[in-house]
């Protein structure tokens, strides 16, 4: 657990003023290399208790490269856990991505890009109120990871039908153990959002 605490401390070192979405930090995009939290045990078995040394941080690239597609696969639906592509990582190699917030494009709302002046889908930034850091479930294969998604809750649904599978710190043992599917329903996770200009 010390590893999670250290990563959380690093992410909150330059904590933004309450209520703001600004702050110092690394923006992560698909294909970027970022630190993730990985267990020192097989997640199919889990650990009776998460103690110091049972979790560590590792650098990994966002996206699973596949032979059948030129683009890596960035997201994994929790509902797809039994499909051949995801079965082994979902069973044995679940991980956690720590962040302050995440971005999502609106399904139909448009905006003008400040960089190009062209019409683009309106981006929104999401965070958990009163929580400086979010933990998001992921799966790993070697030095690559994919973010796990689930059905959107009421706060997310007006923007997008899917959302990252957010894991509370007290739920890490559940996410990293054999009963992880119990976390598929994230309707009780509060999110606040605002458009990115």
15 pLDDT tier (thresholds 50, 70, 90): very low
Residue with tokens 């996206």: 63
Residue 20 has pLDDT above 50, yes or no: no
Residue 19 has pLDDT above 90, yes or no: no
**Nearest Cα to Cα of residue 3 among 48, 49, 34, 39:** 39
Task: Say if pTM beats, i.e. exceeds, 0.85.
Answer: yes
Q: Which of 39-53, 76-90, 141-155 has the lowest mean pLDDT?
A: 39-53
Percent of the chain with pLDDT over 90: 71
Q: How far apart are CA 36 and CA 73, in angstroms?
A: 17
Q: Quick one: tokens of 171? A: 């739920």
- Better-predicted residue by pLDDT, 25 or 171: 171
Quick one: CA dihedral 34, 173, 18, 154, positive or negative?
Answer: positive
Report all structural domains of the chain as residue ranges with CATH numbers, in order of start: 2-12+33-101+128-190 (3.90.1680.10)
Residue 80 has pLDDT above 60, yes or no: yes
- What mean pLDDT is predicted for residues 26-31? 82
pLDDT of residue 37: 94
Measuring CA to CA, how many Å separate 32 from each of 28, 122, 159?
6, 22, 24
Per DSSP, 151 falls in state E
183 pLDDT tier (thresholds 50, 70, 90): very high
Q: How far apart are CA 62 and CA 30, in angstroms?
A: 5
Per DSSP, 100 falls in state S
Structure confidence by residue, pLDDT tens digits, 114-123: 889 999 999 9
Q: Which of 23-37, 101-115, 148-162 has the lowest mean pLDDT?
A: 23-37
Residue with tokens 């039908």: 161
Residue 21 has pLDDT above 70, yes or no: no
Residue 48 has pLDDT above 50, yes or no: yes
Beta strands in the chain (DSSP E): 33-39, 55-62, 64-66, 69-73, 75-77, 94-99, 102-112, 119-127, 134-141, 144-151, 162-164, 192-195
157 pLDDT tier (thresholds 50, 70, 90): very high
Helix residue ranges per DSSP H, 38-136 = 84-92
27 pLDDT tier (thresholds 50, 70, 90): confident
């Amino acid at each position: 657990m010390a590893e999670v605490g250290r990563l959380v401390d690093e992410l909150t070192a330059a904590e933004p003023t309450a209520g703001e979405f600004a702050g110092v930090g690394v923006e992560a995009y698909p294909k970027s290399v970022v630190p993730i939290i990985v267990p020192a045990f097989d997640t199919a078995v889990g650990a009776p208790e998460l103690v110091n040394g049972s979790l560590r941080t590792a650098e990994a690239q966002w996206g699973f490269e596949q032979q059948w597609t030129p683009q890596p696969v960035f997201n994994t639906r929790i509902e797809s856990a039994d499909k051949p592509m995801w079965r082994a990582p979902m069973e044995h190699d679940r991980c956690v991505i720590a962040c302050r917030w995440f971005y999502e494009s609106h399904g139909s709302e448009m905006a003008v890009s400040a960089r190009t002046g062209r019409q683009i889908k309106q981006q929104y930034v999401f965070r958990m109120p009163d929580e400086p850091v979010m933990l998001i479930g992921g799966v790993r294969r070697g030095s690559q990871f994919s973010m796990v998604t689930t059905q959107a809750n009421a706060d997310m649904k007006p923007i997008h039908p899917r959302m990252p599978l957010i894991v509370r710190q007290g739920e890490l043992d559940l996410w990293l153990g054999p009963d992880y599917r119990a976390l598929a329903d994230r309707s009780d996770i509060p999110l606040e959002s605002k458009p990115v200009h």
